[in-house]
Each structure stands twice: as C-alpha cells, then as structure tokens.
Structure 1
Amino acid sequence: MDSLSINTSTNKYNVFVGTKLRFKIATFLEKQYKKILIVTDDQVANHYLEDVKNSFDSKVNIFSVIIPAGESSKSQQQYFNLISRAIEVGLDRQSLIIALGGGMVGDLAGFAAATYMRGIDYVQVPTSILAHDSSVGGKVAINHSEGKNLIGSFYPPQAVVYDVETLHSLPEKEVRSGYAEVVKHGLISDEIFFHQVLDTDLTSKLSNEILTEHLLKGINVKATIVQNDEKESNVRKYLNFGHTLGHALEANLGYGQITHGEAVAIGMLFALRVSEKTYGVKLPYQPLYSWLISNNYPLTLPTQDIESLINRMKKDKKSLNNHVQMVLLKTVGQPTVEQLDDDLLKQELDNFMRELVNH
C-alpha cells in the first residue's frame, strides 16, 4: 500500500492507494463513528457495497442509499433525496458519510456532507480511474441544467481510500474517461509522465502496478497544486485544462451522453490548438489525437451550435466579465490562463470542429 498526505488551509487528510483496502475501511479512519451512511450507485453496489459494510464491526450502525449510475444523478433531486435519507436514519454531526463510487457519487455525497447540518465528515472510497482526480482536493458539487458543478463548495474529506482492485470491473468507456484526467495531469506537469501515459494501451487489461503508478503520479500532481491553492484563486485553475470546452460539450449533449473524460479529451485537443495559435508554439496535438483514436475515444460528435457552446463556456467558473478564460499551455508542463476574445474563440472553435469531422 502507498499513501500520501494532503495539507490544505482547512484540513489535513491522507490518501491510501493499494489492493483489498475496501475490506478494512475502518482502519483508515482517525475517528470512531456510531452511524455511517454509505452512498453508492446501482452498479457499484452490486460489486462492493457489502465489502465496505462488512469492514466495520457490529457496533456501528451502517445505512446505505443507492442512486442511479450516471452523471444525470448529480442533480438537485438526488441531492434532496440523499439529505432526506440522512434525516431518516438519524445522522448527526458526529456521523460519517462514505462516498463509494466514481466521481459523480463522490461529488454528490461530498456536497451532501458539506451541507447536512452545516457539515459532517465524509470519506471518499473511489471505484473509478476518473475519481483519482475528483476524490482529491475537496471540490464537491451538483450540476444545474445550465452548467456543470455550478452548485457546490470546497469541503475536503477526512480520507481517501483507493482500492485499485475495484478498477477492474470498470467498463471500457469508464477506463477511457479516467485516463483522460491522467493525461491532463501529465500535460500540465511533466512531459515524461505525459509520454509514459501515451505508451499505455487502454484496450488491454491494465495491471495493478501500472494503475497504482499512474494514479499516484496523477494524485501527486493534483495534491501539489491543491496545497498551494485550495480555493482556486490562481494555480488550481490549471487543473481545469481541457474542461472549459469539455463541460460545455457535456451540457450541450445532455449529461450522460458522453462521459466526463471523453468530453475533456476533446477539450484538451482544442486547448492545444488554441495554445499553438496563441503562443506560436508546436505542441503534441497529433500524438495525443493518435492515442485517443487508438484507444477508441469518441472524437466525432453530432453537429454542435458554436454560439451555444460559447455561451456555455461563458458560464464556466473561470469566466470573468462574460469573457471565456481558458487554461492553455506554453509548453508541456507550463500551463497558464488566458482570456479569449469572442471572435477568436468562435473562429478557432469552428475550425476545430470541422477538423475533427474531416481528420
């Protein structure tokens, strides 16, 4: 087992990465809890809910709530249902919520923990590759029909317990989704790491050793940034590389029609194109494109209304004075944030969408 500590201005917590950790969750908690509510989805529950329940002794009152899998559950209705369940089972300020699942479950359960009785403890037990990014850093949220994660907070967990064995039950599209964030961490931090990821064939079974190595590197990149900027006032924005267009595509297509990581993959390609145009540099657009194609990322989309995409991009949390701000790269490992003129953005987005169709 590997572990690392994350120190922020509001909390210090540990991230544990290894195998069979789901069978001993209690050993990773610094407090004892009399009541625990496990939040999971209807796919993860079949595989791992009983394992996590049985990791606690009989003195602990364990309750669960199972929500429909998919991004569409990160909604106001599911949030309200979750709060109602917490009230029903009598959670108090000394209780714990466990988020057992992927990024959607972690965001939803974390937001419920942040707001129930003005905040109770929660622990992230991620079961997706994507959640190596979302489970670390304390961002919790639900979606609004007008945009992703518009209702949320910064609320760090008490611990992150990452059992990489749970990743072997993921469908192929969720492996793709998660590895887009691994690629992102490479692009914003380290060219060597980026090329290591591009040497990975996602269509074959990944070993626990490879998964652990890549996930720990990705978590380290995020941890370093979060420790310097917990509330996203400066460098934490770099973690949104590829997300400005990615989030807009998710909302435009309808949540769940494309996975978060698949949308971010397209967003990263666009960010590389805009970076090349803005800084007059050559970036690894083609190597990334080729890797995405060889690993079956869906890069051809239904025709998108450019104005609609730009309007959604303006609702991104980085936007300022109704102008789109995007994370760009001056080179691999050197991210920056630029405000983009509407006309330039429209032209580049139109060219990019045509290029994807004709590539």
Structure 2
Amino acid sequence: MYPSKSLEMGPSKSGPGSMFFKSQLSKPVQTPKDIDLSGKVTIVTGASTGLGLESCRQFLSLKLSHLIMAVRSVQKGEKAAKKLRTEFPTTKIEVWTLEMSSYDSIQAFVHRVEKDLVRLDIVILNAGLAKQDLSVVESTGHEESIQVNYISTVLLSILILPALKAKSPPSTPGRLSIVSSGTVFAAKFPTRHEVPLLKTFDDKANWDANDRYATSKVLGHYFIVKMASYVDPSDVIINLVDPGLTKGSGLLREVTGLVSVVFALMKWALGRTLEVGASTYVDAAVVKENETHGSFLMDWKIAPFAYLLYAADSNAVTEQLWDESMKELEFCGALRALEGMRQ
C-alpha cells in the first residue's frame, strides 16, 4: 500500500466558497524553464480545444519529441494539430481517434498504443463534460457525464497503465495525470449509501444538474485511493489535478440559459487564462514527483481530497464503488490488469 498524501492531510478546514475564491486568486507557479522533454512521448485526451490543446502547446514548448492528440473528431483534431505543427515543425504530432463514451473505442485506442508505440512517458486524461439535462449512453445504459467523467476514465486509466509501465524508461516512472475539479468540495452525492450504486445515476429521479458534474468528479477521488494502491510509483505515478475555473475551456459547451450566463460571468471575473490553467497539467505530470502518487493537486500543490473522502462512511462507499466499477469493467479484464501492475 502506497500512502496518499492527500488522504493523510485530512479534510480542508475551509468551506467550498472560501476554497474557490482562494484558489482562483492564488498566484500561478511558473513551469521551470530547464525542463527538457526531448525523446519523450505524451498523450493528451480532449486535445483539440481549450485546456487540452493549450497543454499540448506547453508540452511541445518543452521540446517534447512525440505528441498524440486523442480526440473525438479527427477533422477538428487535425485542424488543431496543423497549427501546432507549424509552431513546432520538428516534433512528431499525431491525431488519434478516441470516443470516451464508447468501450470499443477506448479498447481500440489502448490496443493502438500497445501496438504502435515503442515509448510512452506521459498521459493526460483531460476529456470530460458537464450536462444540463440527463442523457444516457445507448451502448452502456449509463448517464453520459458519469460514463465519460468516471467510468470510461477509470477504464482508460487502468488499461493504459501497463503500457506506461512497460514503455517508459526503467529509471523514470510513467506519468498518469487525471483531470479533476475543485467542484468536488461542493459535491453532495446523495445516493452514496444505495446498493447498487452506479445505477442510481441513470435514474431520472436522482438527476440534479447542479450536482452531477461535481459528483462525477468526486467518484474519481474515491477511486484513485484504491487504484493507486495497485501501482508502485517507481513504475507509474498517478495523480489527480484541478486546473481551476478557466476562460476558454470547453467544459460547459452543452450548458445553456441562466446557468451558462452565471458561469460566463464567473469566468470573466475570476477565471484563469488557458495558459495558467493548462500549466497545472504540466506541473502535475513533469514537475511533481512520486510524493503526489494517489493524491489530488490543486493550485500547483498537494491538496486534501473532497470532504466526503473523510466522512465516516467513506470506506464503505469506496469499497462499494470499487466493487461495482470492477464488475462493470470485468468484460475487458480491468482488475486483472491492475493486479498485473503488482508483478
């Protein structure tokens, strides 16, 4: 068992509102100028726009040798890649298809990683969405934001771990950074005591647009504590990272009406620039070391998990979520892949 610094910190003593304002007003930390990613290979999901695209640019500015932009639309991805290729003409930049709502697409993507890449150093799982109305992914039967932000992210994380271990240099661990959110501190997760648990998110009676995104991200906090315990940080360092509320992010692309107006005003008043928000990804993946394994990074430093992780029911919820997640992903041997990381 590898201890999580975030878990050891205990819950934050500040309330969600106070934490939000403090975070948004925190002073950005500059990426060290002497970092050199020559020879390294990086994958960024959700890479055609917003934070994903800007993080690609920042990795490339550090002399990255090979970038894979994982996107839903190859057409949009190639359009974004064309600009990056002009700016960084000596770097190999590829666009690969990845549909996070599809188990088949995720497995095909990982198979391509295993087959086509000789080396892999860094993976940034940035793809995510916020929904205003409930929608269900037909192929899985799960509510879309839970599917993409949690279940599919867990699947991709687990399946790509062996490649990160095997294809990174023996002396340098692979890096897996999963994008989280400061909204977890406001997550209610009212159905956390129900069994079965994952199915409660698919029920219209439990839909709350104001809580669903935050809860989808808090699920990742429960999960990383268990997942990281299977992985030696000398093989792969796994962490969660919050970019903060950021101008130009495509997260709220499907949100309309008053909610959209409110968030637009918040971004205008307090939002970080894309450059600042994306720098948190680079910091989590290439600056921070194994002390961040199994932890949550916020404002360029290790932070406590969501309050719910320290509640009396946390262990029970973690185990229930873990068991159901492993059962959901049993079809592709997710648990076997994790157990294989211990060998």
Query: TM above 0.5, one fold?
Result: no
Larger RCO: 1 or 2 (CA < 8 Å, sep 6+) = 2
Identify the structure with the greater strand proportion. Answer: 1
Higher Cα Rg, which structure: 1
